[in-house]
Amino acid sequence: MTFAAMTSADSQLHPRAPGAELADSSSAAAYIADGCLADGPLERVGLEVEAHCHDPADPLRRPGWEEITGVIGSLPALPGGSRVTVEPGGAVELSGPPAGGVLSAIHGMARDQSVLRSAFADAGLGLVYLGADPLRPPKRVNPGARYAAMEEFFATSRSGEAGASMMTSTASVQVNVDAGPRDGWAARVRLAHALGPTMIAMTANSPMLGGEFTGWVSTRQRVWGRMDSARCGPILGASGDDPGTDWARYALKAPVMMVNDPEPAAVTHWVPFADWADGRVPLGGRRPTVADLEYHLTTLFPPVRPRHWLEIRYLDSAPDAFWPAMVFTLVTLLDDPVAADIAAEAVAPVATAWDVAARAGLRDRRLHAAAARCVAVAAERAPADLADAMQRLARNVDQGRCPGDDFSDEVIEHGIAATVSQAARCPQGGL
């Protein structure tokens, strides 16, 4: 993850050896809560941006593993320092290092995206920045054992269809921010959750899936909403006053997806991690270790996930015309104390309206009002080099439009295949 190198205090937060066996679920809960967030100033921002890989000449074709990794293998060192990885369905992800503020993170990611897109274009391929693959059926191309086990887990669960789409047909912009000072954790985590529906409504960019309009402005969020809520739903408890306890409770109730033995093997029956830790259900013929618990946490996908920092995972992928303004708005509403107070008040009436936001977006009057207030606050604080992007986002919000509306207009006029081909050829990551 983007912030993996940022926390020199990790060894102090997690002093146990990875192979140490957990005594019971209570010790697991204490371990999770103690390492949930890292106390410190609000300084760093990291970004992760995913894009669907398409062949512009044949947009229905899904480029294979060797094609994609061949391009990645030819890349020079990226100027912004991002890592490049491949998602299960062949989406390409740039994971930027923690930067000293949102502007540094945006500029670094933009430089790396430019190099990445050029390399894929030279190979006859293109990167399409949408929250959901609009055209192709789900298919895994990454042969990694983790993803094979994940695919098996979903195929045998109640989330089979949604799981396949989530793995291979969705893409996001993830924003990673410092947890901040300990005395502000509860309010910060509550706000990160409460902003979710409003941010989804104003930035939705996935109106199609499998060649059809779904009727949802964020089909990506629709897919995630159909996943098992024990793994993908919001973490917050009744009050949200203790993020560590909330995260521990969530993680221990969530079913174990896979066990490393030594390669990842899917667990195809419902086993909450607490049952494994307490010895009620042995998996792999043993009790879990600290390493097993850490791995389990990486298989949980709530919209806001604590990893010592906060991973904010609810934004659709979007092209260059939108994602910098999306990122700046979200980070400003979280990190600027005056903006955060205004945002908390603005989004309170729609703080849990996840499905409404994904389905109706800014057509919902309460979400429209919250979005207008939030984007205005952020626009007031935007530097000159983001002024045009922020004005475009503010204008869209004023008109009740989201980024996906531009894509939809093109599909209606030119057809889905032609629109995807054009997006794949676009040097700015979109239409």
pLDDT digits (tens, 9 = 90+) for 189-226: 999 999 999 999 999 999 999 999 999 999 999 999 99
Please choose, from the candidates 300, 334, 148, 133, the residue with its C-alpha nearest in 3D space to the C-alpha of residue 231: 300
CB 287 within 8 A of CB 276: yes
| Positions in the chain short of pLDDT 70 | 1-16, 237-239, 431
The pLDDT value given to residue 237: 66
The pLDDT value given to residue 16: 64
- Write the CA distances from 178 to 80, 330, 404, integer angstroms: 19, 13, 29
The pLDDT value given to residue 160: 83
Interatomic CA distance for residues 165 and 233, integer angstroms? 17
Q: Which tens digit of pLDDT belongs to each residue from 2-58?
A: 444 444 334 344 446 778 999 999 999 999 999 999 999 999 999 999 999 999 999
Q: Which tens digit of pLDDT belongs to each residue from 383-401?
A: 999 999 999 999 999 999 9
The pLDDT value given to residue 261: 86
Angle at 136 between CA 133 and CA 138, to 5 degrees: 85
- pTM listed for this prediction: 0.94
Interatomic CA distance for residues 9 and 196, integer angstroms? 29
